[in-house]
Structure 1
Amino acid sequence: MPSPKIVVATDFSPRADRAIDRALQLCQQHGLGLKAIHALDHIDADKADWGYLEERMSRTVGETSCPTEFEFPEGSPPRAIARAAQSDDTYMLLLGPARYNTLGDFFLGTAVDFILRQTECPTLVVKHRARAPYGHIVVGTDFSPASAHAIIEAARLFPDTRIHVVHAWHVPFAGFQRDEYVRDEVEAGEAKRLDAFMAELVQRSPKLGNATSRLVQGGTHEAFAREISAHGRDPSATLVVLGSHGTSGFRQATLGSVTSELLRTLDADVLVINTRNAEG
């Protein structure tokens, strides 16, 4: 069986170095190999100087003790990147704020959205420079099988990083529910559900025994933003984990709704776990 690799895409822009730096850090942390890819459309590939591309990729990656390989897939960049990541040895795919035609600063209705739709592997969108390993992981739940799958996968991918689970809740028809006892009853019910959910997670994945959890009243974005800021002033130390598919709350009917909005707006690196088949 081939050794697992971190796959990272670059367009050689300075901003793409964020993903390269994080990829190298993860390779060192987890003892993995590195595959760095630069996609070429067919016109550029026809006139490419392959020796120059190898040299430039080597300079971009720099010195590393990690086993490293380079790949230059041909085709439209989003499609070529997705194809290059569809390999049994891909541990994780990393993307940065590079420009592949329509790919801009986390404008995720185009290229990144396409890549996330087409790949099965965990995909990390890197927004910040990798100053240190992630200090904590924040992941949301709506108690669904999809969100449970995302949390368990996060624990598998980052076994040494503490996970914090957040559940956003609200009072139904809050505009009509003025009595304080209604809010207290809803919160108490949600707290019981969260406790039961966390207990089931630990049964399925004992390494989650040290995970923490919290109820946050409000919307999904508000819950994540509050928890990110609560974990310190350095946003590069926080990793947010999202599931890719679902129907409501922290689940997304289609990538491009809640997940895409959070990817675009949260001030943290975001790992998207494929939960397409998690509903069973």
Structure 2
Amino acid sequence: MTTTICVATDFSARADRAIDRALLIGEQTGAKVRVVHALDYIEADNADWAKLDRKMRECIGDATCETEFAYPEGALAHAISKDCKDQCADMLLVGPARYNSIGDYFLGTAVDYVLRKIESPVIVVKQRARSPYRHLIAGTDFSANSRYAILEAAKRFPNAQLHVAHGWRVPFQGFQRDTYVREEIEEDARSAMEAFMADLAKANPALANATSNVAKGNAYEVMAREFDAYCDIGGEGLVVVGSHGESGFRQAALGSQTSDMLRYLQNDVMVVNTKAAES
């Protein structure tokens, strides 16, 4: 059975980057790329289908992988997430946010809705697809959720080198001035990382060559430094985060650290719905 990758477009230049990345993944993996343009009900009633198909063909250019077009109807976030779910899509790619554009549905409050409604990972594409993903830069808080997110990303990009990072901070740092407190926190984090990496390798032996780093700083700062350390160009790296975690919100909202990475990192970010890890 052919794997399906969905990519959302509003025909903007930013969405074109997501399409280019989806096509590159399709060419590498043999997956079918389903280009999705959602229409509200009024637009659908008055749609010029031939014109829409022509615009879609312009978006994909001379694609060498299998492609198809879809025009789900309804509220954008709901229509796109439902289409992905109905197609059992392996992943969904979207462009970065722009005020009042389709991107806001994925980087604003409705991103929570999308990630709750579809189990597929979502890649927010910010960089041009000039290279396959050669590096996966994954953050971890040592939870089952982050473990699940990393394994799902590695399964989809088995040829990419995995790098796992954890940022540690001293709680109430203004009051915890003793050196031994910082040293104990760092040592605990390093021990936890060692056990975490061993567990990853046990679950997927191909990850035995993965690298890891424990560094002082918040998750966003550490991930940004790790990316710069391993990736010469932005398009060759993919940041991997889970939609929930021990330090994130575990109810309806997207975790705050994940939201920060989506908002501030200039690199492509894969957000993995980790609800399955909790069942």
TM range, smaller chain: over 0.9
Question: Are 1:116 and 2:99 an aligned pair?
Answer: no
Structure 1 residues 113 and 3: CA distance shift in structure 2, 3 A: same
- Alpha-carbon distance in structure 1 between the residues aligned to 2:39 and 2:56: 13
- Alpha-carbon distance in structure 1 between the residues aligned to 2:96 and 2:262: 12
Partner of residue 271, structure 2 = 272
- Alpha-carbon distance in structure 2 between the residues aligned to 1:105 and 1:132: 26
Shift of residue 85, structure 1, vs aligned partner:
0.6
What is the number of equivalent residue pairs in this alignment?
A: 277
Partner of residue 63, structure 1 = 62
Shift of residue 102, structure 1, vs aligned partner:
4.9
Mapped contact 1:113–1:260 kept (Cα < 8 A):
no
Opposite residue 80 of structure 1, the aligned amino acid is A
Opposite residue 237 of structure 1, the aligned amino acid is E
- Alpha-carbon distance in structure 1 between the residues aligned to 2:83 and 2:58: 21
Partner of residue 23, structure 1 = 22
Mapped contact 2:124–2:268 kept (Cα < 8 A):
yes
Shift of residue 220, structure 1, vs aligned partner:
1.3
Structure 1 residues 225 and 100: CA distance shift in structure 2, 3 A: closer
Opposite residue 263 of structure 1, the aligned amino acid is L
Shift of residue 247, structure 1, vs aligned partner:
3.7
Aligned-residue CA RMSD (Å) = 2.0
Opposite residue 180 of structure 2, the aligned amino acid is Y
Is the partner of 2:277 in helix, strand or coil? coil
Is the partner of 1:23 in helix, strand or coil? helix
Shift of residue 185, structure 1, vs aligned partner:
2.5
Write the deviation string for residues 93-151 of structure 1: whole angstroms up to 9, x where unpaired: 00013669454579722444432232111111101110111121111111111011011
Partner of residue 97, structure 1 = 96
- Alpha-carbon distance in structure 1 between the residues aligned to 2:145 and 2:82: 25
TM-score, with structure 2 as normaliser: 0.92
Is the partner of 2:184 in helix, strand or coil? helix
- Alpha-carbon distance in structure 2 between the residues aligned to 1:141 and 1:99: 28
Larger fraction in helix = 2
Write the deviation string for residues 227-249 of structure 1: whole angstroms up to 9, x where unpaired: 1222244222221111012341x
Mapped contact 2:91–2:123 kept (Cα < 8 A):
yes
Structure 1 residues 173 and 112: CA distance shift in structure 2, 3 A: closer
- Alpha-carbon distance in structure 1 between the residues aligned to 2:179 and 2:255: 36
- Alpha-carbon distance in structure 2 between the residues aligned to 1:97 and 1:136: 20
Opposite residue 278 of structure 2, the aligned amino acid is E
Mapped contact 2:245–2:255 kept (Cα < 8 A):
no
Shift of residue 186, structure 1, vs aligned partner:
2.2
